[in-house]
Amino acid sequence: MAGVTNAPFRTLCRRYGAGLYVNQMITARALVERHRKSLELAAFAPDESPRSIQLYGTDPYSIGEAARLLVDGLIDGVPVDHIDMNFGCPMKKVTRHGGGAALPWKREHYRKIVRAAVANAGQVPVTVKFRIGIDSESITFIDAGKIAEDEGAQAVALHARTANQLYSGHADWSRISELKEAVTSIPVFGNGDIWEADDALRMMRTTGCDGVTVGRGCLGRPWLFGDLAAVFEGRPVPPRPDLGTVLDGMVEHAALLCNWMGEEHGIRDFRKHTGWYLKGFPAGGELRARLNRVGSLDEMRDLVGALDRTIPFPDGGMRMVRGHSGSPKAVHLPDGWLDARDDEVAMPRGAEQLVSGG
C-alpha cells in the first residue's frame, strides 16, 4: 500500500503477530538508476527480518537488474530475503502505460518479466501478485498464475477483484478457488476483504487457498495480525482494544514515523492514519479536522489526550472500510492494448517511470 507499508508501520505490525510484511511498491528502473526517493522508500529497519520488497516494472531488463541488485545487497548493503512482484495495481498512472493490472494481458511479455526476476533472484524466492483481470471481459488471472508457476515463482497471490473495480464492491472469492485448481505445485494466497481474523479462516475453508494476504484491513488496525496469529494457532481472538489502547498504538506509530523521516515529514505523512485509527469512535468532527492538520507529535498527543480513553471499541469497527473505496471505473490502457494477447509488444513511452510507491 502506497505510503503505508514503510519500515515504521512494519515494525509496529510485527509486534502484534508473525507474518511476512512486504515493503511498498518500488519501481525497478528507479532502483537501477539509484533514484533517491525510491531508495528511501525501499529502506528497511536495521533489525528487520525477513526483508521483503515489492517490485514493479514493465521491462524485463530493468526487472532483472533490479532483482540482481536487491539479492546482492547493492541497494542498501544488505540482501533482501524475498521479492514480491506487483501486477495488481489498477491506478491510471500505471495501467495507461501497460503496467500493473494491465500487463498480464500481454502473456508473453508478462512471462519474460517473471522469468527475468526469477533468474536474477537466484535462491531468493520470488512471488507474484495479480488481479482477476482488467474487467469482466478481459480475464487474466488463470494465465498469470500458470505462467508464474511455470517460470519458477514460489507462490502467487490473487486480489479477487478486476482492475476496473478498483477497491469497490466485494472480492469474488470463487476466483481464488479457480486459481487454486489451476495452479497446483506452488502455494496460492487469497486477497480481498480480509477485515477480521475470521475472514481469513473463511476464505481458506471456502477456497482451499494456502494462506491470505492483507491490505486495507490493517489500516488503523495493526493488531489484526495478532488476531490472525491467534486463530491460525487455534486460540481465541484477543478482546478488542478500548480507545486508550488504540490511541497508545496510534501515538507509537506516529513516533516511529517521525523518528524514521524526521518530525516535520513524519507527522505530515501520518495525518492520513488518524482517521483510520479513529474510525467508528466518537471523536468529533472538529478534532478529526485538527488531526488532519496536525503539525507536531506533541500537538497530536495533546489533541488525543482530551479523549475518554475508556470508550469501548465500536461494534463492527473492524469491518468499517478504510483506505481506498470509490466506484468502478474504466481502466486506462495504451491504444490498441486489448487487440491481441500474444503479439510482440513495445511498451509505451513512459512505461518505465521512476516513480515508486504506487
Predicted pLDDT of residue 305: 94
Residue 316 counted as domain residue? no
Instruction: Tell whether 254 and 295 lie within a shared domain.
Output: yes
- Of these residues, 89, 209, 218, 258, which one is catalytic? 89
Give catalytic status of residue 218 as yes or no. no
| Backbone phi and psi for residue 83, each to the nearest 5 degrees, phi listed first | -120, 125
Q: For residues 204 and 251, state if they share a domain.
A: no
* Alpha-carbon gap, residue 113 to 96, rounded angstroms: 18
Contacts of 209 (CB under 8 A, 6+ apart): 176, 177, 179, 180, 188, 189, 190, 203
Residues 187 and 208 in one domain: yes
Residue 340 lies in a domain: no
Same domain assignment for residues 202 and 262:
no
User: Residue 114 phi/psi, 5° resolution?
Assistant: -60, -40
Claim to verify: residue 195 and residue 265 sit in the same structural domain:
no
| Cis-peptide into 236, omega within 30 deg | no
Q: What local confidence, expressed as pLDDT, does residue 36 receive?
A: 85
pLDDT of the chain, 358 residues: tens digit per residue:
556 889 999 999 998 887 899 998 899 999 999 888 888 888 898 889 999 999 999 999 999 999 999 999 887 788 999 999 999 999 998 999 999 999 999 999 999 999 999 999 999 999 999 999 999 999 999 999 999 999 999 999 999 999 999 999 999 999 999 999 999 999 999 999 999 999 999 999 999 999 999 999 999 999 999 999 999 999 999 999 999 999 999 999 999 999 999 999 999 999 999 999 999 999 989 999 999 999 999 999 999 999 999 999 999 999 999 988 889 999 999 999 999 898 777 666 666 665 555 5
Q: Among 200, 232, 264, which residue terminates a domain?
A: 232
- The residue from 173, 200, 232 where one domain ends is 232
What confidence score (pLDDT) does residue 5 get? 87
- Claim to verify: residue 249 and residue 184 sit in the same structural domain: no
Residue 280 lies in a domain: yes
Task: Give the gyration radius of the chain's Cα atoms.
Answer: 20
Task: Give the containing element (helix H, strand E) for 54.
Answer: strand 52-56
- Say how many domains are in the chain: 2
Listing DSSP states for 124-159 in one string gives S-EEEEEESEEETTEE-HHHHHHHHHHTT-SEEEEE
Q: What CA–CA distance (Å, rounded) separates 199 from 194?
A: 5
Q: pTM of the predicted model, to two decimals?
A: 0.93
Q: Quote the cell numbers at residue 303.
A: 489533541
Quick one: pLDDT at residue 25? 87
Q: What is the pLDDT of residue 349?
A: 62
Decide if 45 is inside a domain.
Answer: yes
pLDDT of 129: 98
Judgement on whether residues 278 and 203 belong to the same structural domain of the protein: no
**Residue 150 and residue 248 in one domain:** no
**Residue 164 maps to a domain:** yes
Q: Please, where are the H alpha helices in 174-296?
A: 174-182, 197-207, 224-232, 243-261, 263-277, 285-291
Query: In the beta sheet, which residues pair with residue 340?
Result: none
Q: Which of 191, 212, 232 is the last residue of a domain?
A: 232
Distance CA 3, CA 236 (A): 32
Domain extent, residue 165, equals: 7-232
The 3-state secondary structure of 284-337 reads: CHHHHHHHCCCCCHHHHHHHHHCCCCCCCCCCCCCCCCCCCCCCCCCCCCCCCC
